[in-house]
Amino acid sequence: MQQELVTFGFTEGDVQAEVLKTTQYSTEFMINGQRFSIPVIGRYNVKNALVAYNFGRYFGLNEEEIAHGLKDFQLTKDRTQWSKTANGADILSDVYNANPTAMGLVLDSFAELPLTGRKIVVLADMLELGENSEQMHRQMARHINDSFAKVYLFGTEMEALYQELQEKQNQIYYFEKEKNRICSRF
Q: How many domains does the chain have?
A: 2
Note the pTM of the prediction, 2 decimals.
Answer: 0.85
Q: What is the pLDDT of residue 183?
A: 64
Detail the DSSP E strand segments found in 48-158.
81-84, 90-93, 120-124, 150-154
Q: Tell me, what's the pLDDT at 182?
A: 58
For residues 178 and 115, membership in a common domain is answered with yes
**16 is in which domain, residue-wise?**
8-72
**Per-residue model confidence (pLDDT) at position 75:** 81
Query: Is 179 contained in some domain?
Result: yes
104 and 155 housed in the same domain: yes
In a domain, 177, yes or no: yes
* Same domain as 128, residue 67: no
In a domain? residue 3? no
Is 170 domain-assigned? yes
Statement to judge: residues 103 and 156 lie in one domain: yes
Series of mean pLDDT values for 10-residue runs along the chain (186 residues): 87 94 95 95 94 95 96 85 91 88 94 92 94 96 94 95 86 80 58
